[in-house]
Amino acid sequence: HVIVTPDILFDDCYGKYAIPAINVFTLEQVSGVFRGANRSASPVIIQTTPVARDYAGPEVLLGMVAAAAEAYPDVVYALHLDHGNETHIAAALQAGGYTSVMIDASHDPITENIHRTRAVTEAAHEKNVFVEAELGILSGVEDDLMVDVASSRYTRPEDAAYFVEQTQCDSLAVAVGTSHGAYKFSGDQGIRFDILAAIQQRLPGFPLVLHGGSSINADELARINRAGGRLAQGSRGVSDDEIKRAIGLGICKVNVATDLRVLWTRVHREFFVQQPEQFDPIVPGKVYIEAVERLCVDKFEKLGSAGRA
């Protein structure tokens, strides 16, 4: 199997395409993402949040990832800890396996964010582990934290170069209008390309990361609600055109968690409505694995990462 650090992937993709970074929580997701990457010959960043690590325990989660990498030995992937703090990162560095970690001190004032991020880069770089940091605050639900729109804050382009220089981080997650979760943009809202362009101007060639990168298929939401769900409709996710423009402005990594969750909900709601006599997890599980594979193949095409492994 081919596990890499993201710098190799970002060197190749900068300005041309983006590396998909997919959050996995379950066996079906791990399996579906590896199958998609294998079929598309796409490099992929497999990422786990602290909540995902706690769900089954990190040994089980990472054991599944390692086993999938053995089963699909051609897949080129990095293993990334998403939205970590010092405790999560220490555990990840200690246990090994991760080639990349994110220190999310974005909710702290910038001096504290710099201080905390710099300490992490020192420890991680000693082990040749890549570090993503974040500047600015996204709204939405992130792990077990809910951030309302009023508390969110765009990345200040004038802080970006100083932050990177002071922290020695290897990539920077930016807040340019996206949010975590299923409800991102309403009305004529969208990614603030003016802010992203100003950040890129201050950090030419430096890999930027888009959190809240799910596209949120409106048809999937409608199907969920027809099968008894109650998800709000009317807002949208990140469009294919926005992804393309963002790549041109230095976005190298697009984080996706919610699209796989929405898909899980649609598959299982429809399955049990249509086949109410069923009670075997592997029957809808198989449907979901195949649907995750298809979603990934489609996404890798749109990010331009297909065929780049």
Q: Which residue is nearest to Zn ion (CB)?
A: 211
Catalytic residue among 7, 11, 82, 188: 82
Question: Which residues, listed in sequence order, are joined to residue 137 by a DSSP beta bridge?
Answer: 153
> Of ligand 13P, Na ion, ligand G3H, none, which one sits near residue 52, judging by CB under 5 to 8 A according to partner kind?
ligand G3H
Q: Does 23 bind ligand G3H (CB under 6 A)?
A: yes
Q: Alpha-carbon Rg of the chain, whole angstroms?
A: 19
Strands 76-84 and 2-3, sheet pairing: parallel
Q: Does 170 bind Na ion (CB under 5 A)?
A: no
Residue 86 CB, nearest approach to ligand 13P (Å): 18
Return the number of the residue (162 or 178) whose C-beta is nearest ligand 13P.
Answer: 178
Answer yes or no: 82 catalytic.
yes
Site residues (CB under 6 A) for ligand G3H, limited to 94-153: 142-143
> Tokens representing 154?
């765009």
Q: Does 7 bind ligand G3H (CB under 6 A)?
A: no
- Cβ pair 160, 169 in contact under 8 A: no
Nearest to 212 by CA among 234, 237, 229, 188: 237
Q: b/e map of 6-17 (b: 16 or more CB within 10 Å)?
A: bbebbeebbeeb
- Number of H helices and number of E strands within the chain? 12, 11
What are the φ/ψ torsions at residue 249 (nearest 5 degrees)?
A: -105, 20
Site residues (CB under 5 A) for Na ion, limited to 63-82: 82
Residue 208 CB, nearest approach to Na ion (Å): 12
Site string for ligand G3H, 163-192 (x = CB under 6 A): -----------------x------------
Residue 80 CB, nearest approach to Na ion (Å): 6
Q: Does 211 bind Zn ion (CB under 5 A)?
A: yes
Strands 19-23 and 76-84, sheet pairing: unpaired
Contact residues for 194 (Cβ-Cβ < 8 A; gap 6+): none
How far is CA 269 from its chain centroid? Answer: 25
Residue 278 CB, nearest approach to ligand 13P (Å): 29
> Of Zn ion, ligand 13P, ligand G3H, none, which one sits near residue 214, judging by CB under 5 to 8 A according to partner kind?
ligand 13P
Residue 237 CB, nearest approach to ligand G3H (Å): 12
- Cβ pair 26, 51 in contact under 8 A: no
Give the angle 236-31-88 at the CA atoms, nearest 5°.
75
Site residues (CB under 6 A) for ligand G3H, limited to 34-93: 49, 51-52, 82-83
Residue 179 CB, nearest approach to Zn ion (Å): 9
| Contacts to Zn ion by CB under 5 A | 211
Residues involved in catalysis? 82
| Contacts to ligand G3H by CB under 6 A | 23, 49, 51-52, 82-83, 142-143, 180, 257
| Contacts to Na ion by CB under 5 A | 82, 102
